[in-house]
């Protein structure tokens, strides 16, 4: 018989500490949908997604019910759509985004990722078409997410792509000025993008992936925060141990759901992503974990060290709990989606510079933060270049999801509600980066990329 | 399939009888049961076998949850694997 204490602990985690499966994401290859006719290609995409993911939502719901564990999001990721843009004879490729949206609505998922291009070393014709279409495509759709990989540790940084991303993001912000520049919340610029990430907005189904795979993202900052609080004023050794144990338990649940979902859907078991993903709900915050370690507010001195400890302990605990670990796997620090981060940004305790430092020791990067609407495109590109450099040099994934809040300035906020939360507009440095960004070309790969 | 049923709430007369009565009515076998009262809080954990059940897992779970609400206790029904995977290596 199971231990009563263990059973009640699990129920408490779910009921009171917001433990959940954040996402079950089905990755679907669209490589067999390529056609020179955009009409034929979009028809194939629609049919393939509807066929492959027909049972995704009901299956996830039945697992949710039987195991008593909430699965918050059911999502789809697809082959980077730029690969399909190469072949078509038309220049405007927004129809692909509309098709993804239509398929997502039919099968009942809330987001579809993969309106993406991988341009870390250069652009193809299709890459340029896709990237140029992003602002309009994301303005005209609700649940399609775009991502652009502009750098890898092996290839260096494509600064032409970084410059272009600044302009694209700025345009997306202006086009959705009447909706809190919401299009920007669906665009991620990556370095070292993982091909099996289940989390939006950066999910896509890489070309090295199987025909169809299930990737699961777990959550649980609330559970970790509660464990840290219970541990009291213990030493760092004991603190790390507490987090490892908790991460192990959280990840085992993800492993169980991923194995069960892939079995029932007849899809490949892809990976479990160990990320601690916060929500704006009180008690579901990564900032809360850091503050529980003894920091008065997130953003103060000691924050980077606390985050480094947390991120490392989560990985150590999680790795042993799953057959295959992948995706982003680490702590997320999106500003708008975390109640503690919102409070710290609002009070000025958390600055953009500190946020950048934090991203050097955790997964992802500068995420869901707002800057003044009049921030020049070149400054946005320079912010991206800084963040991408951290990823390239440290051999890790970094990303930028920046919201230039059209018509707003410091002191204002953008507010989305739901999982996206709200973000106070943070100040940026006023010195121009225009001449730097305008150089173009590629920043060469770092010396430690030469591993062969 | 085996599931764990937990009942937590304020202690009143007949909670076990109510829950086990409903289970036996639908052919669910109770394999193990443990119950304790901590500071007037009633906590019962049951391991049950659903293989002979005459309604679906979902229907029975909903029935138990509704009965729990009537009794003023919180009833959870969850697949056994969630606990074994989380707490056993």
B47–A1: do the CB atoms touch at under 8 Å?
Answer: yes
Chain A residue closest to B79 (CA)? A67
Chain B partners within 8 Å of A10 (Cβ): 82-83, 86-87
B85–A7: do the CB atoms touch at under 8 Å?
Answer: no
Q: Which residues contact A185 (CB under 8 A, 6 or more apart)?
A: A201, A368, A401, A403, A416, A420
CATH architecture of A27-191: Alpha-Beta Barrel (3.20)
Q: Which residues contact A324 (CB under 8 A, 6 or more apart)?
A: A269, A270, A271, A272
Q: Which residues contact A379 (CB under 8 A, 6 or more apart)?
A: A166, A428, A429, A432, A433
CA–CA gap between residue A206 and residue A18 (Å, rounded): 31
Could you give all domains of chain B from N- to C-terminal order, each with its CATH number?
2-87 (3.30.70.260)
- Residue A275 to residues A217, A293, A406, Cα–Cα distance (Å): 7, 19, 31
A409: pLDDT strictly greater than 90: yes
B79–A66: do the CB atoms touch at under 8 Å?
Answer: yes
Q: Do domains A27-191 and A215-440 have the same CATH topology?
A: yes
B82–A3: do the CB atoms touch at under 8 Å?
Answer: no
Q: What is the DSSP string of A253-278?
A: HHHHHHHHHHHHHT-EEEEEE--B--
- Residue A355 to residues A182, A300, A426, Cα–Cα distance (Å): 21, 11, 11
Q: How much is the average pLDDT of A218-243?
A: 95
The most confident of A7-11, A273-277, A399-403, by mean pLDDT: A399-403
CA–CA gap between residue A382 and residue A132 (Å, rounded): 19
pLDDT of residue B40: 75
Chain B partners within 8 Å of A218 (Cβ): none
The structural domains of chain A, with segments of one domain joined by +, span 27-191, 215-440
A68–B78: do the CB atoms touch at under 8 Å?
Answer: yes
pLDDT of residue A82: 98
Give yes or no for a contact between A75 and A277, defined as CB atoms under 8 angstroms apart: no
**The domain over range A215-440 is classified in CATH as 3.60.20.10:** no
Q: What tokens were used for A70?
A: 């909430």
Question: Which residues of chain A from 65 to 94 reach within 8 Å of chain B, CB to CB?
Answer: 65-69
Instruction: Using the CB atoms, write b or e for A410-436: b if 16+ within 10 Å.
Output: eeebbebeebbbbbbbbebeeeebeee
Q: What tokens were used for A58?
A: 């009901």
pLDDT of residue A387: 98
Chain A residue closest to B86 (CA)? A249
Angle, CA A213 vertex, CA A123 and CA A223 arms, to 5°: 105
How does DSSP classify residue A425?
A: B
Instruction: Using the CB atoms, write b or e for A89-116: b if 16+ within 10 Å.
Output: eeeebbbbbebbbebbeebebbbbbbbb
Tens-place pLDDT, residues A18-67: 899 999 999 999 999 999 999 999 999 999 999 999 999 999 999 999 99
Query: Ramachandran region of residue A56, left (φ > 0), alpha (ψ -120 to 50) or beta?
Result: alpha
CB-nearest partner of B43 from A8, A66, A252: A8
Query: Ramachandran region of residue A407, left (φ > 0), alpha (ψ -120 to 50) or beta?
Result: left
A421: Cα within 13 Å, side-chain hemisphere:
25
Tens-place pLDDT, residues B28-43: 999 999 988 877 788 8
Q: In what order do the strands lie in the sheet with B2-10?
A: B29-38, B41-49, B2-10, B73-79
3-state per-residue secondary structure call for A98-164:
HHHHHHHHHHCCCEEEEEEEECCCCCCHHHHHHHHHHHHHHHHCCCEEEEEEEEECCCEEEHHHHHH
CB-nearest partner of B77 from A1, A9, A68: A68
Closest CA to A25 of A102, A107, A83, A84: A107
Give yes or no for a contact between A331 and A275, defined as CB atoms under 8 angstroms apart: yes
pLDDT of residue A21: 94
Tens-place pLDDT, residues B18-73: 999 999 999 999 999 998 887 778 889 999 999 999 999 999 999 999 999 999 99
Which ipTM score applies to this complex? Answer: 0.88
Q: What is the largest CA-CA distance in chain B?
A: 38
Look over chain A and give the mean of its residue pLDDT values, rounded to a whole number: 95
Q: Quick one: what percent of chain A has pLDDT higher than 70?
A: 100
pLDDT band at A131 (very low <50, low <70, confident <90, very high): very high
Chain B partners within 8 Å of A255 (Cβ): 85
pLDDT of residue A1: 59
Closest CA to A216 of A100, A75, A331, A112: A75
Mutation target to probe the A interface, by most A beta carbons within 10 A, among B85, B88, B89 is B85
Tens-place pLDDT, residues A5-19: 888 889 889 888 889
CB-nearest partner of B34 from A4, A6, A253: A4
Q: Quick one: what percent of chain A has pLDDT higher than 90?
A: 91
């Amino acid at each position: 018989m199971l231990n009563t204490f263990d059973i009640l602990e699990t129920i408490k985690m779910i009921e009171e500490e917001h433990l959940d499966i954040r996402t079950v994401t089905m990755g679907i290859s669209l490589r067999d949908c390529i056609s020179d006719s955009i009409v034929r290609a979009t028809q194939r995409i629609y049919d393939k997604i509807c066929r492959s993911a027909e049972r995704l939502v009901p299956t996830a719901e039945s697992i949710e019910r039987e195991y008593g564990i909430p699965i918050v999001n059911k999502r789809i990721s697809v082959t980077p759509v730029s690969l399909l843009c190469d072949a078509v004879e038309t220049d405007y490729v927004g129809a692909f985004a509309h098709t993804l949206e239509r398929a997502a609505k039919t099968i009942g998922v809330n987001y579809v990722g993969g309106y993406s291009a991988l341009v870390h070393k250069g652009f193809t014709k299709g890459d340029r078409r896709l990237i140029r279409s992003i602002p309009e495509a994301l303005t005209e759709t609700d649940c399609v997410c775009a991502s652009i990989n502009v750098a890898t540790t092996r290839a260096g940084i494509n600064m032409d792509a970084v410059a272009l991303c600044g302009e694209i993001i700025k345009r997306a912000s202006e086009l959705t000025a009447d909706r809190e520049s919401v299009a920007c919340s669906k665009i991620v610029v990556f370095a070292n993008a993982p091909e099996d990430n289940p989390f939006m907005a950066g999910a896509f189904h890489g070309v090295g992936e199987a025909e169809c795979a299930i990737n699961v993202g777990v959550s649980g900052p609330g559970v970790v925060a509660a464990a840290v609080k219970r541990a009291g004023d213990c030493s760092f050794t004991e603190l790390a141990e507490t987090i490892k144990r908790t991460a192990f338990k959280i990840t085992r649940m993800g492993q169980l759901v991923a194995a069960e979902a892939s079995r029932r859907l007849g899809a490949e078991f892809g990976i479990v992503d160990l990320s601690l993903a916060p929500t704006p709900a009180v008690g579901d915050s990564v900032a809360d974990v850091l503050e529980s370690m003894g920091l008065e507010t997130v953003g103060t001195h000691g924050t980077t060290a606390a985050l480094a400890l947390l991120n490392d302990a989560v990985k150590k605990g999680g790795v042993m709990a799953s057959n295959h670990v992948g995706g982003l796997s680490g702590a997320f620090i999106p500003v708008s989606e975390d109640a503690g981060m919102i409070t710290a940004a609002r009070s000025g305790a958390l600055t953009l510079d500190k946020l950048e430092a934090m991203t050097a020791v955790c997964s992802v990067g500068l995420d869901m933060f707002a800057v003044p609407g009049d921030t020049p495109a070149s400054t946005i590109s320079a912010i991206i270049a800084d963040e991408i450099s951290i990823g390239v040099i440290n051999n890790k994934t970094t990303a930028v999801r920046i919201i230039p809040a059209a018509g707003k300035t410091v002191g204002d906020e953008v507010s989305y509600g739901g999982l996206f939360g709200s973000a106070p507009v943070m100040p940026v440095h006023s010195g121009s980066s225009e001449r730097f960004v305008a150089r173009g070309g590629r920043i060469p790969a770092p010396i430690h990329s030469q591993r062969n | 399939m085996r599931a764990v049923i937990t009942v937590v709430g304020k202690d009143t007369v007949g909670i076990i009888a109510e829950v086990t009565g409903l289970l036996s009515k639908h052919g669910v076998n109770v394999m193990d049961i443990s119950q304790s009262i901590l500071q007037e809080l009633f906590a019962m954990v049951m391991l049950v076998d659903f293989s002979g059940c005459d309604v679906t897992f979902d229907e029975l779970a909903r029935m138990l949850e509704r009965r729990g609400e009537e009794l003023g206790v919180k009833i959870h029904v969850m697949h056994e694997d969630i606990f074994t995977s989380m707490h056993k290596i």
